Amino acid sequence: MSTITTRVFPMLAIAAAATLAGCKSVPLTEDKSMVAVYQFGEFKMLLNTTAPHAAEVTQRVLKEQGLYQTEFAQSTYEARITARAVGDQKVSIIIQEENRNQTMLRIRWGTSGDLKKSRRLYEAIEAGVDRP
């Protein structure tokens, strides 16, 4: 019983704390009607478009933002893009179509994530979705 008390319970407490502390809501509008999720260094938000269009826009925005694309893989409902930022930071983007009109965009900037840079990239991609 003492092994469980001294080893297992503290580990469970640490795991629970890490799980609860790792998620943050990120309001995208002043009235907080649109909220993204920032979880364990990954920025997640929906785009109102298809995955192929989101991938096309993302590639264009990466060039405009001065990021160097190193990898690109695409299927019908998903795309994965890897790029490098100044300072050789890895930027990983996963695009997954949820339904005909919505696509989940997941951005991780650097190894541990960067909320500010990920959000700016998301906002540029979202603005690009409506641009021809």
pLDDT (0 to 100) of residue 3: 52
For the chain, give the longest Cα–Cα distance: 66
Joined together, the tokens standing for residue 87 give 């300072």
Per-residue buried b or exposed e for 36-72, using 16+ beta carbons within 10 Å of the residue's own CB: bebeebbbbbebebbbbebbbbbbebbeeeebeeeee
Question: Is the pLDDT assigned to residue 46 strictly greater than 80?
Answer: yes
pTM: 0.80
* 82 membership: H or E segment, kind and range: strand 78-85
Lowest-confidence region among 30-34, 45-49, 98-102 = 30-34
Q: Tell me how far apart the alpha carbons of residues 17 and 70 are, in angstroms, rounded to a whole number.
A: 36
The domains found in the chain, sorted by start residue, are 24-130 (3.30.310.80)
Question: Is the pLDDT assigned to residue 95 strictly greater than 60?
Answer: yes
Q: Residue 5 carries which DSSP code?
A: I
Joined together, the tokens standing for residue 61 give 């925005």
Q: Tell me how far apart the alpha carbons of residues 57 and 62 are, in angstroms, rounded to a whole number.
A: 9
Question: Is the pLDDT assigned to residue 10 strictly greater than 60?
Answer: no
pLDDT (0 to 100) of residue 21: 53
pLDDT (0 to 100) of residue 20: 47
| CA torsion through residues 107, 113, 115, 118, sign | negative
pLDDT (0 to 100) of residue 44: 96
Q: Tell me how far apart the alpha carbons of residues 36 and 104 are, in angstroms, rounded to a whole number.
A: 11
Which of the four pLDDT bands, split at 50, 70 and 90, describes residue 123?
very high
